Amino acid sequence: MACPGGTEQVPGTGHVDDVVGSGAPRASDATRTSDGAVRDESVPDDPLVIRDAATGAAVPDAFQRLWNPHRMAYIDAGREGRGRGHDDDCPFCEAPHKSDEDALIVARGEHAYVLLNLFPYNNGHLLVCPYRHVPLYDEATPDELREMGELTQTAMRVLRDVSHCDGFNIGMNQGEVAGAGVAGHLHQHIVPRWQSDSNFFPIIARTKSMSQLLGDTRRLVADGWPSGH
């Protein structure tokens, strides 16, 4: 059965039989081994070619893989609901009960507080959170919104003063479907940006170089925070 592009489909499976270049032999030129794999004698072995999509789970491809089995703890926690809308296991509910140093808190207000992101995009990546466990912006009280706004303004001024940043990304992800890591507790991101921070490293290597420890960043921002704000 022919597919667009001239490839062949394995009957009854809906899978492409050969994934090769446009000049590759068709499936009629190939032979199937006893284990069901397709072998084409006329094409040299190429580790980047998927020769049998029907049984391709272990077929080599062009991707490199970084094995992180410890991440299953985070994935399983999400499946079981821990940290996903339950205030008895919410990091933003727990943080105010710890010391500023342990929780990476830089400022505390009456209705909201500011802390460092544990997995920052840039040095000085801050989060502004209400103390109350509320998930969405339109569920926050006027007092919470007012203080979150005031803390955001102060954070911008402090970051500009202590880190000499050139701009900011400020925003909120509302709900898991929108990318909120802790969807059950409202939090606003403040990410300082510099003219030179988008280089080849994050763009090509998909890796961010962090030049300052979180504890050092917290002290720098906390020391620069004006009293009474």
Where do the DSSP E strands lie in the chain? 31-32, 38-39, 105-108, 112-116, 126-130, 167-171, 188-193
d(CA 65, CA 207) in angstroms, rounded, equals 15
Closest Cα to residue 15, out of 63, 44, 47, 57? 57
Please report how many Cα atoms fall inside a 13 Å half-sphere around the Cα of residue 172, on the Cβ side. Answer: 19
Q: Give the distance, in angstroms, between the CA of residue 69 and the centroid of all CA atoms in the same chain.
A: 17
Cβ proximity of 24 and 42 under 8 Å: no
Active site residues: 187
d(CA 176, CA 79) in angstroms, rounded, equals 13
Residue with tokens 């609901």: 81
Cβ proximity of 224 and 162 under 8 Å: yes
